[in-house]
Amino acid sequence: MRTHQFLSDQAETRPDAIALLDWDGAPWTFGQEWGAAQSGADLLKLAGVQRGDRVLMVAENCAALCAFIYACSLIGAWAVPVNARQTEAELSRIVAHANPRVALFMSSVSPDAKAHGERLDAREVNGAWGSLMMAEIAASDPEPDKDVAVMLYTTGTTGTPKGVMLTHSNLVFAGKLSTDTRGMLSSDTVYGALPMSHVFGLVSMMTAATFIGATVRLEARFSPAKLFAALNEGVTILPAVPQMHALLMQYTSEQGIESIAGGPLRFVSSGAAPLDPVWKRKAEAFYGIALQNGYGMTETSAGVTTTKSAFGDPDISVGPALAGIEIAIDETAEGGGNGIGEVLTRGPHIMLGYFRNQEATDAVLDKDGWMHTGDLGRIDDKNLLHILGRSKELIIRGGFNVYPPEVEAAFNDHPDVIQTAVIGRSTDTGDEEVLAFVQLAQLDALTSDELRAFVEPRLSPYKRPSQIILTLSLPAAPTGKLLKHKLIETFADQLS
């Protein structure tokens, strides 16, 4: 089965049902979306796109992006959605690596996409999808032997970007699994602010909703005010990351609203970062329903594990393995031992590999089919997975292992803290020091000395940061995922 069949099935059986509420509020039925996908496929074929060619889509969330992702599926091309808010240099590296036949720019939605399109001499094209820009980038260089549906670029640090090849089988499996896990219904409305240039938004949001026939309310750019409005206008499922939850609660608190319990929302989840008990209790009191947590990555077509917690459950794990998925712990990895090790997973959710990078593929996929995630974790006696952080982010201080999520949780317990990022930095002695970067709603809310006094009873001496940087914002990807590799550079003038 190919991913566009999810859409064609809905268009055949429920053509007038609402598939999407576009970024500007315009409703799209399944019949309209399917028609736009078919027209988009015709446009791509006229531009010379063949099976196995890459089609770059520079966009922010919109109905046209959804239509062209399915258009690629129709003709066997690979959709390569990337976020329009990338810099010219970042986009240029992806273009050089992906070697797309054509590039589409969602110019009517995103000023950034329009600017990128103008730099690449894109022309305007109009159709059932609306108005966008298209540029021919390279001669056809297809790989028709690989049944790839989408190629997503991971958030890298430096060097050549890595394109994660996800097959139609990956997406079909993950989309169905996501609907089953959430108990999603065709009557649901899913909040769609997570970028579809990332796996969480693409699979757990769009693919899952299309499979079951639910409505996706798209947002081109997240804002807490828009989310608050959506929650009062029928949104029933909210997939989000911790930063989105934190900003929403900050926004409502400023409006004098401490809880939205009793509304239509029936499922809320958090991903991309570990939870801590105090923050979880706060979020559940705010929403009035249980907060679910999960674990996944681009290379695993989104989900690996997820919780099914009851309201008030103190469990802060990421849950057991999802149906059809295996997980294991490799204690031989750096930072491993005593039940802690690198998280491994295998099953039908695992990527095909990294595009034209066999060396990188072989480094994470072993001969037995296990994906080596690079994350440290442990599995408890209830088979629940607990994530302790990235293995590369492990801090070794005075011979002791310091796991950043544990330190971050101590800071996040403070009511004035929105979120925290903790990293290690090498010292002249060969040891590592702990650095904490703390986002506050207001900089005058408290001082670093007051915050240090707050966390000291919660942390062993070797876990306490040598420096605490207070800020109103932290570097983050469009998904809300913190970009820890940019912290030193961003706050260089404040670090001693």
Between 95-109, 143-157, 315-329, the lowest mean confidence (pLDDT) is in 143-157
Same domain (yes/no): 120, 45: yes
The CATH number covering residue 481 comes to 3.30.300.30
Within-domain flag for 175 = no
High-pLDDT (> 70) share of the chain, %: 97
Strand partners, 238: 268
d(CA 183, CA 105): 35
* Residue of 287, 253, 223, 228 lying closest to 415 (CA atoms): 253
Q: Tell me which range, 62-71, 140-149, 374-383, 473-482, is most confidently predicted by mean pLDDT.
A: 62-71
Same structural domain for residues 482 and 462? yes
Distance CA 166, CA 150 (A): 6
288 in Cβ contact with 260 (< 8 Å)? yes
208 is a domain residue: no
Determine the pLDDT at residue 479: 66
Find where tokens 């056809």 sit: 140
- How many angstroms from the chain centroid is the CA of residue 41? 27
The whole-number pLDDT of residue 429 equals 65
Question: Which of left, alpha, beta for 17 (phi over 0: left; psi -120 to 50: alpha)?
Answer: beta
- Mean pLDDT, to the nearest integer, of 131-142? 95
pLDDT of residue 318 exceeding 50, the answer is yes
Q: Provide the token pair at 20.
A: 């999407």
Please tell me the predicted confidence (pLDDT) of residue 155.
Answer: 59
Residue 461 has pLDDT above 90, yes or no: no
Pick the last residue of a domain from 332, 360, 391: 391
Residues in the chain: 496
Residue 44 burial (CB < 10 Å; 0-12/13-18/19+)? buried
Domain co-membership, 109 together with 162? yes
**pLDDT, mean of residues 29-58:** 98
- What are the CA-CA distances from residue 22 to residues 109, 132, 373 (Å)? 10, 15, 35
Which of the four pLDDT bands, split at 50, 70 and 90, describes residue 359?
A: very high
pLDDT band at 158; cut points 50, 70, 90: very low
Residue 334 has pLDDT above 90, yes or no: no
Statement to judge: residues 108 and 129 lie in one domain: yes
435-459 pLDDT, tens per residue? 999 999 889 889 999 999 999 988 8
Per-residue pLDDT, averaged over 159-174, amounts to 90
Q: Decide if pLDDT at 57 tops 70.
A: yes
- 362 with 429, same domain? no
Where a domain ends, among 391, 425, 441? 391
Does residue 319 sit within a domain?
A: yes
pLDDT band at 272 (very low <50, low <70, confident <90, very high): low
57: β partners: 81, 104
**pLDDT tens-place string over residues 361-403:** 999 999 999 999 988 899 999 999 998 877 778 787 876 778 7
Determine what percent of the chain falls in helix, strand and coil, rounding each to the nearest 5.
Answer: 35, 30, 40
Q: How would residue 157 be classed by pLDDT, with cut points 50, 70 and 90?
A: very low
Q: Are residues 377 and 240 in the same domain?
A: yes
Q: Provide the number of structural domains found in the chain.
A: 3
> Is 147 a domain residue?
yes
Q: For position 89, which CATH number holds?
A: 3.40.50.980
Report d(CA 116, CA 113) in Å as an integer.
5
The answer to whether the beta carbons of residues 169 and 202 sit under 8 Å apart is no
Q: pLDDT at position 459, please?
A: 87
SS3 category, 463: helix
Q: Would you state the pLDDT for residue 471?
A: 96
d(CA 153, CA 160): 10
For every residue of 41-104, DSSP letters joined together read HHHHHHTT--TT-EEEEEE-S-HHHHHHHHHHHHHTPEEEEEETTS-HHHHHHHHHHH--SEEE
Q: Look up residue 369 and give its two tokens.
A: 């089919």
Mean pLDDT (the chain, rounded) = 92
Place of tokens 């240090």: 452
Q: Within this chain, do residues 323 and 398 fall inside the same structural domain, yes or no?
A: no
Are residues 139 and 45 part of one domain?
Answer: yes
Q: 402 and 382, same structural domain?
A: no
Q: How far is CA 468 from CA 82, 163, 336, 416, in A?
A: 34, 35, 28, 15
Q: Could you tell me the pTM of the whole model?
A: 0.85
In a domain, 21, yes or no: yes
Indicate whether 385 belongs to any domain: yes
- 283 and 398 both lie in a single domain: no
Are both 129 and 249 inside the same structural domain?
no
Q: What pLDDT digit, counting tens, does each position of 232-268 carry?
A: 999 999 998 877 888 899 899 999 999 999 999 999 9
Last residue of a domain, one of 391, 413, 445: 391
Check which CATH number belongs to the domain holding 262 and give it: 3.40.50.12780
Q: How many CB atoms lie within 10 A of CB 160?
A: 13
* Average pLDDT value for residue range 406-434: 86
The domain containing residue 109 runs over which residues? 4-168
Q: Where are the beta strands (DSSP E) in 137-290?
A: 148-153, 163-167, 189-192, 215-218, 237-240, 267-270
Instruction: Decide if 257 is inside a domain.
Output: yes
Closest residue by Cα to residue 248 from 279, 214, 224, 217: 224
| 150 and 130 housed in the same domain | yes
The pair of structure tokens assigned to 114 is: 């329009």
Question: Is position 199 within any domain?
Answer: no
pLDDT the model gives residue 273: 66
